Structure 1
Amino acid sequence: MMGFGDLLQSLETTTTRVLGSDGCLDGATLRAHALAIADALQARGARVIASRLDNGPDWLALDLALRALGLVHVPLPTFFSPSQARHALARSGAELLVLADDGSSAGDAVRLVPGLRARFLATWHTPLPVGTACITFTSGTTGQPKGVCIDAPALLTVAGALVGAARPLAPTRHLCLMPLSTLLENISGLYGALLSGADIAVPPLGDVGYSGAAGLDVTRLVASLHRYAPHSVIVFPQLLSALVMAAEQGVALPASLRFVAVGGGRVGPALLSRAAALGMPVFEGYGLSECVSVVALNRPGAVRPGSVGRPLPHANVSVVDGELHVEGVRCLSYLGEDGPPSGPIATGDLGHVDDDGFVHVTGRRKHMFITSFGRNISPEWVEGELLQHPLFAQAVVLGEGRPFNVAVAWLRDPEADAATVQSALDAVNAGLPDYARVAHVIRAPRPFSSAGGFLTDNGRPRRDVIARAHVDAIAHAYDELDPTPLPMELNA
C-alpha cells in the first residue's frame, strides 16, 4: 500500500492543484512547501505538533510535512472554545502549536515559513500508542473534547476505499466545505483527492459561508460552489437542507456536481427525496472516529434510499441486540485511555442490515426513551421528520415516561403564528405512527448554538441542557394537554 512518503513524492508529477482564495499551487509547489515546513519543524525537535488553522493550502502542506516526518498532528478546530482548545493541548502533550502568521513576535512565537508561525507550549510527555499519526478530537455530547489516536495506514486505507467508491463518477475536483480539522474532510477531501490526482479547493471557511454549527450564509455557499465548480463535496445534513431549499426557490446550483456525500447525522428520507427531485447527486454515508471515519456509503450503482449504504471494503457491520457493531479498520486508542475492546466496536447506534447488505441507522441507544404506553422511540427519527419541514430549523423531541411527545424547536420564522405552527406540525405528524407523533411544539427563544451550550461543537443537541433550560414550558405543555389528575392511589 502507498505510504505518505510515496504520496508526497508523487506530487512532483501529479496533476493535482490546490486552489485557495489567493490562487493555486501545483503538485510540485505544494510538495516544496511541505518540505520547507518539515525542515523548519525538524529544527524545533518536537514530536507532537498541534495546529489551529483555517482551511487553506497551509493546512494541507503542514499536514503532509508532519506525515513525511512521522510526527503526530493534533488538528484543533477553529470553532473550539478557548477552554476546549486548552484541554486538547494539555491532554495531547503537544509541544508546538502552529498558527497563521499574523506578523506577531510576542512571547515565544517563532516564524516557521511565510504564512505560519509556531508557539512553544509548556507541557509534559503524554504516552501515545506506537504509530500514532493523528489525534482527532470529537466533542461528542460532553463539554470537553475526547481525543482518538489513529495511525497512518488506517488513514490511507479509508481514503483509498472512498476513492474506489467514487471512481465510477470520476470526480476530479473536490471543494472542502467542512473544516479540514474534521476527520471526514481530512481523509476524504484531502487524502482521497491526492490519491486520485484530483484538484482540491480549500478556501477559508468564511468564504464558503460557514460560521459553525449555528451559522451559514447560503449566498456565499452557493457563490463558492459556482466559483470552484467542484465535482464532489461533503456536507452535513444542515448544509444539504440549505442547498435543497435554495434550489427549490430557484437558486441555480453548479452543473459540475457529481458526488454530494452527506453524513454526520440522520438525513430524513423526505430531504433526500427533495434532493433527488432536483437532480442533486446525493449519497448518504455513515461513520465514526473510532473506525477512522467512513464505514458505509451509498455509491454509484449501489444506492438504497433510507439506508447509509453498504459497508466499504475495510469494514464489516453486524447487529447485536439492535445495535450496530463494526469490525475492521479501527483507532489505536482513546487519548490517555485504552482503545475499544478487541472484536467488533459497539457503536451505540441503533439499526439493522437488510438482506442486500445495506445498513440502516435509526437512532442512538442512549437517546432512546420509552413512553408511558411502553413504546420505544428514537428521538432522532422524529426530529429528522420535523426538520424536513421548512418551518422547523432545529428540534429536540422529549417524551420519557409520558403519554405523548413534545418538541422544543427553533423556527425559521420566529414570528409564525400558532395556526401556522400547528399546520406544519400536522403535516409532519401525518407521516408518523400515532405513538411517535408530537403533540405540542415549545418555541425556543433563540437558536440552539454551541456558544450557548445547547449544541456540541459538531452540531448535535445537548438534550439534557435543552430540557433543563425549558423545564417550565415543558411542564406547562404536559399540564395543558393532559390535565386529567392521577388516580388518588397514584398521586399519594
Structure 2
Amino acid sequence: MPRECQLFKQVLQAHARDRATQPAVVGLGGRFTYAELLAAVEQRQAWLAAQPSGTLVLGLDNGPEALFWDLAALFAGRPVVVLPTFFSSAQRCHCLAQSGAVLALIDEGFADDLLAAGFSAGERFWHRLPPACASVPPGTAKLTFTSGSTGAPKGVCLGAPALLRVARELEAASRSAAPGIYLAVLPMAVLLENIGLYAGLLAGAQLMLYPSAQLGLRGASQVDLRRLLGAVALSGAHSLILVPQLLLGLVTAVERGLMQVGPLRFVAVGGGRVAPSLLARAEAVGLPVFEGYGLSECASVVCLNRPGDRRPGSVGRPLPHVQVRIAEDGEVMVAGSMMLGYLGEAPLRTPWFATGDLGRLDSDGFLHLAGRKKHQYSTAYGRNVNPEWVEAELTQGGVIAQAFVHGDGLARNLALLWPLDPLADAAALEQAVHQANQGLPDYAQVHAWQRLPEPLSTAQQTLTANGRPRREQILQRYQALLSDVQ
C-alpha cells in the first residue's frame, strides 16, 4: 500500500478510536460513526481481496455505500472507475470498454450497459473476463473519464499518492474555517467532489452524502434550484463545492432573501470561469466563496483562494504540492501531482503538463486565467477574444442561463442566448447583454445576438456531459441563426 494510503488509513483509524461515536457520513442509507465507517470499509476491502484482480466499476449514486466501496478499493490497491450517471449510455459503454474492468457494483439504471459490455450478475458483483486490449498503468488507483468538447471520454489514470496529496492540501487550506459539516453537492464521479470527500474525512468532518435527485440535480446541467437550496439549508453545512452556475443560484437566493448564509464557512467554486461580478455579489451578501482552479490530469485542484489569502479575480495561489509557470505563448504549465498517463497512451514523460489554459501570474503569485487556448479567436480587427470570458459575464446577471459567443474573423461578436426564465422577453435579454457589456472592453462586447430556439443540451449534442459548449457542433447546428445576425 502506498505511503499516502497508509497515512490516510491511519487517520481514519485514529478517528475511529478518538471520535468513535461521532457521525462520519450521513445519507439515505443511514448515519454511520467513524468506527462504523472504518468497519464497513475494511469488510468491503476483504470482499474485494477475494475477487480476481482488475479494475472495479462503481455505478452507484451518492451515498454512504458508494463512499465505503470507493475507500475499500483505494486501500485494496484496486483501480476504480466511478461511472458518471450524467454520461450517455454510449459514453458509459466506451468507459467500460476502455477501462478493461472485471468487476462492477451498480444501480439498476446501469444494468443494460453492463450486459452490453459482456458482464453478468453475480451474488455481490457483476463480473466478466478481462478484455485482451485493456492496459491500465501500474499504480493506478483512480480512472476518471473527462468529456471534452469533441469525441468520446478520455481516461485519466491517477495514482493514490497524487490524489491524497491534493486531499491533504485541500484540508489544510480550509482548516482555519473549521468546516465540521460537509455537504457533497456534485456527483462522486466528479473528481473534485471525490477528493473533497477525502479532505473532509482527513479533517474528521461529518459528510452529508445524498443521491443527486434528492438535491434537485439531474444529468449534467438540470437543476431544481429550490430543492437544492432547501437541501443546503436543512443540512446545516459549513462547507460545500459548487460549479459557477450553482453558485449563481445560491447568491441570487441570498440576495432575494429566500435563504440565509447560515453556518456556511467555506464555499469552494471551480469547474469553469467565475465572473468577478458574481464573486463581488457573493462577498456583498457575506457568502464565504473561494475560487479555485484545477484539472483531472493534475489530480484536480492546482490553485485555490483561501481564508486570509484571497485575491478576487484570481483563482488563488498554487497549493504547496505543485508548481505553476506561464509559457511564452501564455499557456499555464503545471508540475507536481500529475497523472500517470491517459488510458491506452504512452506514460507521461515530462514533469511539466501543458494545461491548454491561458493565464498570468501576478507579482504575488496569484494565477489569473483568460480561458482556453484552443477556444481563443481573432476578430476582423486582429483582437484576440476568449469566448468563455464573455460567456461568463453574460450568464452571471441572473437573466441568461446559457450563452455561446462567436466572432472568428468577424467585425462583430455574435451571441446565441437562452434565458433562465423561458418566458423572458427580448427586452430582458437585451438589457442583460447591455449590462454585461459594461464590464467588457469594446473588442469583447457582444454586438448582436439571437435567442436560441431551445436550450443547449447533451441530447442535442450541443453540450458535453459536464455541461460545456460543443463549439463546432453549435456552429454547425445554428449556422443559419448566426448568419441572420451578421
**TM-score between both structures, scaled by the size of structure 2:** 0.93
Q: In 2, Cα distance between the equivalents of 1:464 and 1:208?
A: 32
Find the counterpart in structure 1 of residue 343 from structure 2: 335
Contact 1:143/1:456 (8 A) holds in 2: no
Contact 1:48/1:93 (8 A) holds in 2: yes
Q: In 2, Cα distance between the equivalents of 1:205 and 1:136?
A: 19
Find the counterpart in structure 2 of residue 283 from structure 1: 290
Q: Which amino acid aligns with 1:9?
A: Q
Find the counterpart in structure 1 of residue 163 from structure 2: 155
Identity of aligned residues (%): 47
Q: 1:12 aligns with which of 9, 16, 20?
A: 16
Q: In the alignment, does 2:263 pair up with 1:256?
A: yes
Contact 2:317/2:366 (8 A) holds in 1: yes
Q: 1:49 aligns with which of 52, 56, 63?
A: 56
Find the counterpart in structure 2 of residue 100 from structure 1: 107
Alpha-carbon distance, 1:311 to partner: 0.4
Q: In 1, Cα distance between the equivalents of 2:41 and 2:107?
A: 15
Q: 1:472 aligns with which of 455, 467, 480?
A: 480
Contact 1:454/1:466 (8 A) holds in 2: yes
- Relative distance call for 1:122 and 1:160 in structure 2 (3 A) is closer
Q: Deviations over 1:129-155 (max 9, x none)?
A: 221111111112123110011111111
Q: In the alignment, does 2:122 pair up with 1:110?
A: yes
Q: In 1, Cα distance between the equivalents of 2:92 and 2:11?
A: 30
Q: 1:415 aligns with which of 407, 411, 423?
A: 423
Q: Deviations over 1:263-313 (max 9, x none)?
A: 000000111111111100000000011111000000001110000000000
Contact 1:229/1:254 (8 A) holds in 2: no
Q: Which moved more, 1:427-436 or 1:229-238?
A: 427-436
Computed over aligned residues only, the root mean square deviation of the Cα atoms, in angstroms, reads 1.9
- Relative distance call for 1:373 and 1:247 in structure 2 (3 A) is same
Find the counterpart in structure 2 of residue 488 from structure 1: none
Q: 1:90 aligns with which of 92, 97, 106?
A: 97
Q: In 2, Cα distance between the equivalents of 1:390 and 1:100?
A: 36
Q: Deviations over 1:18-60 (max 9, x none)?
A: 0102431011211222222223223321321111110000111
Alpha-carbon distance, 1:246 to partner: 1.6
Contact 1:151/1:331 (8 A) holds in 2: yes
Q: Which moved more, 1:347-356 or 1:140-149?
A: 140-149
Find the counterpart in structure 1 of residue 189 from structure 2: 181
Contact 1:11/1:30 (8 A) holds in 2: no
Segments of structure 2 that go 5 or more residues without pairing to the other structure are none
Q: In 2, Cα distance between the equivalents of 1:251 and 1:111?
A: 48
- Relative distance call for 1:90 and 1:8 in structure 2 (3 A) is farther
**TM-score between both structures, scaled by the size of structure 1:** 0.92
Q: Deviations over 1:184-226 (max 9, x none)?
A: 01112x1101111111110111111111233111111111112
Q: In 1, Cα distance between the equivalents of 2:189 and 2:311?
A: 30
Segments of structure 1 that go 5 or more residues without pairing to the other structure are 479-492
Q: In 2, Cα distance between the equivalents of 1:292 and 1:404?
A: 39
Find the counterpart in structure 2 of residue 439 from structure 1: 447
Contact 1:391/1:413 (8 A) holds in 2: yes
Equivalent residues, number = 472
- Relative distance call for 1:121 and 1:181 in structure 2 (3 A) is farther
Contact 2:333/2:354 (8 A) holds in 1: yes
Find the counterpart in structure 2 of residue 461 from structure 1: 469
Contact 1:389/1:424 (8 A) holds in 2: yes
Contact 2:12/2:202 (8 A) holds in 1: no
Alpha-carbon distance, 1:341 to partner: 4.0
Q: 1:123 aligns with which of 131, 143, 163?
A: 131
Q: In 1, Cα distance between the equivalents of 2:23 and 2:139?
A: 28
The runs of 4+ residues in structure 1 deviating greater than 4 Å are: none
Q: In 2, Cα distance between the equivalents of 1:243 and 1:199?
A: 22
Q: Aligned ranges for residues 1-80 of structure 1 at < 5 Å?
A: 2-3=4-5, 4-13=8-17, 14=19, 15=22, 17-80=24-87
Q: Aligned ranges for residues 162-311 of structure 1 at < 5 Å?
A: 162-188=170-196, 190-311=197-318
Contact 2:418/2:454 (8 A) holds in 1: yes
Q: Which amino acid aligns with 1:333?
A: G
- Relative distance call for 1:85 and 1:268 in structure 2 (3 A) is same
Q: 1:428 aligns with which of 436, 440, 455?
A: 436
Find the counterpart in structure 2 of residue 323 from structure 1: 331
Q: Deviations over 1:327-376 (max 9, x none)?
A: 11101111111244413111110110000110000111100000000000
Q: Which amino acid aligns with 1:53?
A: L
Contact 1:72/1:133 (8 A) holds in 2: yes
- Relative distance call for 1:363 and 1:20 in structure 2 (3 A) is same
